[in-house]
Amino acid sequence: MLKNIGKTLEKNNFRYSYLDGSIPSIDRMKMVEEFNNGENSVFLISLKAGGTGLNLTSADIVIHFDPWWNPAVEDQATDRAHRIGQKNVVEVIKLIAKGTIEEKIVDLQDTKRELISKILGDDLSADNINTLSEEDILSLFN
């Protein structure tokens, strides 16, 4: 998906950075610096790329195009733009087409978040675990 977005950006003469898991860490740091210095306005980042050193303090929009089954991975990607030193209000957008596998993934993420909230809750007490249904517990192992 990111490569397709990159092609569209190129056709429309937008400068951008592209980061996936194949980019060495020294190049990552240079790309982050260029982005934060305003040398380009778009940073395409694969969720698989990892978050080390990605402090995107000049970002003001995060768009998730391709959801991941694990909501924590997406949260980490969003947090790259919510770092110390951030001066912008950051808007986070998820683009999900209705009736697609992506929509099912988002539903799974919501279910996982709800389950985590039930288990951990705000007070981390054992009472929260007692509120889980048999179905909730079995879903942990499916």
Segment 112-133 mean pLDDT: 66
**pLDDT-based confidence at 72, cuts 50/70/90?**
confident
Pull the structure tokens for residue 121: 């809750």
pLDDT over threshold 90, residue 11: yes
**pLDDT-based confidence at 57, cuts 50/70/90?**
confident
Segment 36-52 mean pLDDT: 83
**Strand ranges in 5-109 using DSSP code E only, listed in sequence order:** 16-19, 42-45, 61-64, 91-94
Per-residue pLDDT at 118 = 73
pLDDT over threshold 80, residue 101: yes
Q: Which amino acid is residue 30, in one-letter code?
A: K
**pLDDT-based confidence at 123, cuts 50/70/90?**
low
Q: What's the rounded Cα separation, in Å, for the pair 125 and 28?
A: 41
Q: What's the rounded Cα separation, in Å, for the pair 139 and 55?
A: 35
Q: What's the rounded Cα separation, in Å, for the pair 9 and 42?
A: 9
